[in-house]
Chain A
Amino acid sequence: MSERMDERLQAALAALESGESLDQALARYPEAADDLRPLLQTAARLRALPGSPRPGAQATSRQAFLAQARSMAAAPQPVSPVFRRLAFAIGALIIVLGVGAVPVAASASALPGEPLYGVKRAVEFAQLALALDRASRDMLEQRFQQERFNEIKALMSRPGGSGGALVDITGALESVAGNRWLVDGMLVRIDDSTRLDGALVDGAQARVQGRLEDGVLIASEITTLGGAAATATGTPTPTPGPTDTMTVTIPPPPATPTPAPTETAESVESETDEPEQTETQKPEDTETDEPDSTEIDETDEPSATDDGDGEDDGGDD
């Protein structure tokens, strides 16, 4: 872009910001109007791009945030794993109870993507955290795993379709042939974008995350669970996509990452991953000035172990 054109663009943008219409701004430079119009239209679209949170969303988030803080304050560090689990369970219960108007009982039948689904998962977590012994916990985990399958079946049979709902199941790999796998009787479709991690062989226990589209579960990530693969025997894992992209193991937040304390402990502990910056080749910037501060310097990404914990280096606006 020429210097003159750049000046015109800045002036036209300033005119728009001062309240002029697009046509009025373009009328300032009729000879450049054809070049300026798409740029100004794009700027106008960008202004309208961010949405607003739904009514009550900020208040709900605030409530969960403060409830989590209270549970943390009640749990001095360091704490034993048992105590920590109990604290998070209390936090989860506070959140569940704290939302007040949300009927917890009604969340029992919520499906992925529905407003109460986060509450349902928070209640499940609280139950798990409060389990008195390993046997009780295993029994609950088994029940919740089955519930995930039931949810998918319910979504598939819903008249309005599954609507791209995010799902997360755990089960035994019964068939790993081709691009249509079977996980505890559930058909799972694999495509080139599916991330595979671990020894994915027949009989292995695996976690499948994906989305439902047109009644089919399309996997975005399949990960073996610890120990299961070691004892499993069967055919080698098929490689439907590039194998060099199948090494990432990231326990992500749930499909609807409700701000429950349950997710905090796990998500924070998993923050050693770093966003992949190389998925797309980005153009080089060639502006020549040197930054003299780095308040919001996106190039200064937190390191692999710095996500959320790095030394900050900027000021505020």
Chain B
Amino acid sequence: MHDDHRLLARARQLDPEALAEIHDTYYPIIFRHISFRVSDTQAAEDLTSEVFIRLLAALRDRHAPQDSLSGWLYRVAAHVVADYHRRGYRATQVELDETMPSHDSGPLEMVESQMVNERLRDAIKDLTDDQQMALDLRFGQGRSIRQTAAAMGKTEGSVKQLQARALAMLAKRLSEGDSVL
């Protein structure tokens, strides 16, 4: 477990080593959290950086978290992503990135897969916050049911329930999209 309390105490003094450790530790986690909801890689990178810049501002204004850095970063990330979606921007270009199913896929299959991913992200936005977090931790961050339950402060049974309902809703949305196409 990361010693957030100790780290934050040093970060409040703007200790460069502590800040670097925070960035090194949490950048990949927050990036995955954001890119779970934002398809544009560059935008996800920018939004991730924005989260850390906001942390500095909170440290400066003495509003930084006292104990749990991860929870604070997740919440700010949620705000940053919400702001991003609220601006209504959706990149029109389709990026061919590593989320593609296979490097052997042809261009058409790759673009189709990316379009399905876009629909999936749209559908995720309609899930409850808890459902989104459960899916993010389980599949985006690759955590187990037990780890997800611990992180969310819920029972394992509750996480399974959240996961099952969310998967069912997403699968339904994707199948509806298929029937439209």
User: Are the C-beta atoms of B1 and A295 separated by less than 8 Å?
Assistant: no
Q: Which of B161-181 contact A (CB under 8 A)?
A: 161-165, 167-171, 174-175
Q: Which residues of B lie under 8 Å from residue A77 when comparing CB positions? A: 60
Task: Please pick, from A66, A279, A287, the residue contacting B16 in the complex, using a CB distance under 8 A.
Answer: A66
Bound together, the chains give a CA A80 to CA B89 distance in angstroms of 37
Q: Given A283-B169, A314-B71, A316-B69, answer yes or no on A6-B142 (Cβ-Cβ < 8 Å).
A: no
Q: Given A53-B48, A282-B127, A312-B72, answer yes or no on A292-B63 (Cβ-Cβ < 8 Å).
A: no
User: Are the C-beta atoms of B153 and A291 separated by less than 8 Å?
Assistant: yes
Q: Which residues of B lie under 8 Å from residue A107 when comparing CB positions? A: none
Q: Is A27 an interface residue (CB 8 A)?
A: no
| Residues of A within 8 A of B (CB-CB), count | 93
Chain B interface size band reads: 35 or more
Q: Which of A247-303 contact B (CB under 8 A)?
A: 248, 250, 252-253, 256-259, 261, 263-265, 267-268, 271, 273-276, 279-280, 282-285, 287, 289, 291-302
Bound together, the chains give a CA A10 to CA B149 distance in angstroms of 14
User: Are the C-beta atoms of B19 and A66 separated by less than 8 Å?
Assistant: yes
User: Are the C-beta atoms of B45 and A308 separated by less than 8 Å?
Assistant: no
User: Are the C-beta atoms of B161 and A46 separated by less than 8 Å?
Assistant: no
Q: Which residues of B lie under 8 Å from residue A310 when comparing CB positions? A: 63, 65, 72, 75
Q: Is A39 an interface residue (CB 8 A)?
A: yes
Q: Which residues of B lie under 8 Å from residue A221 when comparing CB positions? A: 87
Q: Which of B126, B132, B143 has the most CB of A within 10 A?
A: B126
User: Are the C-beta atoms of A72 and B60 separated by less than 8 Å?
Assistant: yes
B44 to chain A, nearest CB (A): 7
Task: Please pick, from B65, B128, B168, the residue contacting A1 in the complex, using a CB distance under 8 A.
Answer: B168
| Closest residue of A by beta carbon distance from B101 | A48
Q: Is B120 an interface residue (CB 8 A)?
A: yes
Q: Which of B60, B64, B71, B99 has the most CB of A within 10 A?
A: B71
Q: Is A151 an interface residue (CB 8 A)?
A: no
| Closest residue of A by beta carbon distance from B24 | A62
User: Are the C-beta atoms of B130 and A295 separated by less than 8 Å?
Assistant: no
Q: Is A73 an interface residue (CB 8 A)?
A: yes
User: Are the C-beta atoms of B97 and A51 separated by less than 8 Å?
Assistant: yes
Q: Given A220-B89, A276-B82, answer yes or no on A57-B45 (Cβ-Cβ < 8 Å).
A: yes
User: Are the C-beta atoms of A51 and B1 separated by less than 8 Å?
Assistant: no
Q: Provide the main secondary structure of the chain B interface.
A: helix
Q: Which residues of B lie under 8 Å from residue A164 when comparing CB positions? A: 89-93
Q: Given A51-B97, A65-B19, answer yes or no on A311-B57 (Cβ-Cβ < 8 Å).
A: no
Task: Please pick, from A43, A58, A73, A193, the residue contacting B27 in the complex, using a CB distance under 8 A.
Answer: A58
A216 to chain B, nearest CB (A): 13
B26 to chain A, nearest CB (A): 10
Bound together, the chains give a CA A273 to CA B31 distance in angstroms of 23
User: Are the C-beta atoms of B135 and A316 separated by less than 8 Å?
Assistant: no
Q: Given A42-B171, A316-B70, answer yes or no on A296-B133 (Cβ-Cβ < 8 Å).
A: yes
Q: Which of B43-82 contact A (CB under 8 A)?
A: 44-50, 52-61, 63-72, 74-76, 78-79, 82
User: Are the C-beta atoms of B130 and A49 separated by less than 8 Å?
Assistant: no
User: Are the C-beta atoms of B139 and A47 separated by less than 8 Å?
Assistant: yes
Q: Is A89 an interface residue (CB 8 A)?
A: no
Q: Given A72-B60, A293-B153, answer yes or no on A193-B88 (Cβ-Cβ < 8 Å).
A: yes
A-B contact pairs, 17 of them (CB 8 A): A46-B140, A47-B142, A53-B41, A61-B23, A61-B49, A65-B53, A163-B93, A253-B50, A259-B52, A264-B53, A268-B57, A284-B128, A291-B153, A295-B70, A296-B133, A298-B78, A308-B63
| B residues apposed to A, CB below 8 Å | 1-2, 4, 14, 16, 19-20, 23-24, 27-28, 31-33, 35-36, 39, 41-42, 44-50, 52-61, 63-72, 74-76, 78-79, 82-83, 86-93, 97-99, 101, 116-117, 120-121, 125-133, 135, 137-140, 142-143, 145, 147, 150-155, 157-158, 160-165, 167-171, 174-175
